[in-house]
Amino acid sequence: MLRLLAIGIWACSVTLASTYGAAYWKTHKVAASQDAHAEKLEVRKVKPITVPIISNGTLKGYISAEFSYVVDAPNKSHGSSDPDSYLMDEAFRQIYADNSLDFHHIEKFDLNALTRELTQRVNQRLGSNALKEILVKSFAFIPKEDIPR
């Protein structure tokens, strides 16, 4: 009789432990898969660009800008297209052609609008949503007088 009671307690203990273990494993497996998705994003740097600012036919100075962008890590190769080149080209075109840019008050420039527009244009030229976000590392106006000769 004592032996039968011990076997019953042992069976209940094993059942409870396995149920607890399965529930614990299942909840922690979901958290690991979310971490794995977050690790798939990659930030890449782009070479700095220098854009001349011309006003009334004279050179006023240069905008020095440095960008980086966020892509999915598996998309390291976008076929024959290079996101770096497209980003640098679009950034140069956008800054050079922006008539609303007041180089005397560069701190008022809307960088959020610039990065949104750049992301949209580069993705459009690449033909995919390869770029998730564009980040601004530096953005400064350098007057012509401050440039050493």
Domain shared by 11 and 23, yes or no = yes
CB 67 within 8 A of CB 135: yes
Domain shared by 117 and 129, yes or no = yes
* 54 has a pLDDT exceeding 90: no
Whole domain around residue 51: which residue ranges? 41-146
pTM, two decimal places? 0.66
| pLDDT number for residue 45 | 92
Domain shared by 77 and 109, yes or no = yes
Domain shared by 62 and 116, yes or no = yes
Domain shared by 33 and 47, yes or no = no
- With tokens 């740097």, the residue in question is 45
Tokens of 44: 């890449």
Mean pLDDT over all residues of the chain?
82
